[in-house]
Amino acid sequence: MTMFSTLLSVLPLLTAAPASASTMLGLSTPPLHFVMAADMTGSSKNPAFGYAKQVKLLSQSLLLNQVHSGDTVTLLRVCSGVQTIADFTFQSKNGARLSKSDILRYTGALTEPCTTHGSAITASLALARAAVNRTAAVGSVAVFFTDGAVEDDPARARLSRAFSGLLSEPGTRLVFLAGLSPEKGVGGNSIRDTFVGALGQSSRDPRVLMAGAYDLNNVYPAFADAVKKARK
């Protein structure tokens, strides 16, 4: 079984999870603010990782299965700068989910390959913090799909401060770092290890969940469970 067939078996593409009893009865659940940033630089262009395909599949599953009526969604595409793909509060009746056409449109734009050189990972963390702060009255879940390569990020010296700043927001319930690369980076360490080290002590915060480029399918169930707990 290939990596992608395994991912498909765990994260059914555009197949909604069964509605809960509270949804069936029209009862609301506490809203969340989902901030999703997709880093389309670095390993996103490495066919050995199929990174862009993983990002698209996971972001589709997130939008379909995690976003409920009343939730706010902010989508950020990361290249040499940060592009806001969408920023809205989703409203529906009787537990209806985001439409498949909207999900495909949003995730298609979110995962468009970069055509410029450079990376704005640090800037995306700052923008995520600003988005979380804007909806401080509700809990927020921040999801970053990145390989973790920051050598092309001109603001990388502020990476630790930006990450701790996001976690310092009272509304931040969960930060999911997905797709971290096991490839060797500067100094012979893996890109993942170098990135985690650059995040500093905040990387050990219990609200931080990480998944490498090859174990997204194993970690996603833990992420889905953490989202449920974040709603309480």
Structural domain contains residue 89: yes
Dist. CA 108–CA 142, nearest whole Å? 19
- What residue numbers bound the domain in which 136 lies? 30-230
For position 95, which CATH number holds? 3.40.50.410
pLDDT in tens, 3-17: 444 443 445 444 555
Quick: pLDDT tens for 54-107: 888 889 999 999 999 999 999 999 999 999 999 999 999 888 899 999 999 999
Answer whether residue 11 is part of any domain. no
Q: Would you say the pTM of this structure is higher than 0.95?
A: no
52 lies in a domain? yes
- 167-216 tens-digit pLDDT: 999 999 999 999 999 888 777 889 999 999 999 999 999 999 999 888 88
For residue 10, being part of any structural domain is answered with no
Run of H or E residues at 22: helix 21-24
23 domain residue, yes or no: no
Q: Does a structural domain hold residue 1?
A: no
Provide CB contacts within 8 A for 47, sequence distance 6+.
none
Count of domains for the chain? 1
Q: At which residue do the structure tokens 């999911």 appear?
A: 176
Instruction: With beta carbons less than 8 A apart as the criterion, state whether 36 and 56 touch.
Output: no
DSSP secondary structure letter of residue 19: P
**Assigned domain for 79 exists:** yes
Asked if residue 19 is part of any domain, the answer here is no
